[in-house]
Amino acid sequence: MLNLAVFISGRGTNLQAIHKAILEKRLSAKIALVLSSNPDSEGTKWAEKEGLKTIVCRRSDFKQRGEFVAAMMHHLESSGVDFIVLAGYIRKVPPEVVRRYRWRIINIHPALLPLFGGKGYYGIRVHESVLASGAEYTGVTIHFVEEEYDTGPIIFQFPVKILPGDTPENLAKRVGEIEHKIYPKILQLFAEGKLPHKIFDNFSRLTII
């Protein structure tokens, strides 16, 4: 069983999908900690209402960067976290945390990386950029987290076709629906010990949708 920390900044829809998968016994995990960068976000309020251990940890709350990193580490370690899930977390994770949880910290991104990724590419901005580019496909990427935004080895990608008349809003909705199905399934593979030790050599063997 995984003891998860779920990092959020916004609505927390992937957090909710993970929580639902746990309750329905589709994911062998426990949400040991929800770490938010935004005390007023829908996701933070939802997590608190559900009774999940929820901490707001922001760089702006500390005079020194080292104090911020130490506080984040303390929250993770005192909660028994052994795996970190970024779920709409728009802040850069401190390198010290990334190194401490190397191969045990993953992110989900609403596009096919390395396209439309990096600093500033989050939320509706991603879908606006995809549509402006004239791309035929977008999708979902799950990847290991490294020190920079949206880098790290890719674990899984799922394509989503751009449809005539798509807007950033309805594209975000379709991509989000895929995210909510994929993320718990990938996490379950970690819980079963199938990742990261064996990256898929044939993704067609994995039924996601």
Helix (H) or strand (E) holding 101: none
- What the block records as the tokens of 121 is 């590419």
- What the block records as the tokens of 24 is 């329905």
**For 123-167, where are the alpha helices, taking DSSP H only?**
124-133
- Which position among 19, 109, 127, 143 bears the catalytic label? 109
What residues have CB less than 8 Å from 179, skipping those under 6 apart?
13, 14, 17, 108, 110, 140
Query: What gap in Å lies between CA 132 and CA 127, rounded to an integer?
Result: 8
Query: What gap in Å lies between CA 192 and CA 93, rounded to an integer?
Result: 26
Check: CB of residue 3 under 8 Å from CB of residue 32: yes
Query: What gap in Å lies between CA 46 and CA 42, rounded to an integer?
Result: 6
| 109 labelled catalytic | yes
The catalytic residue positions are 109
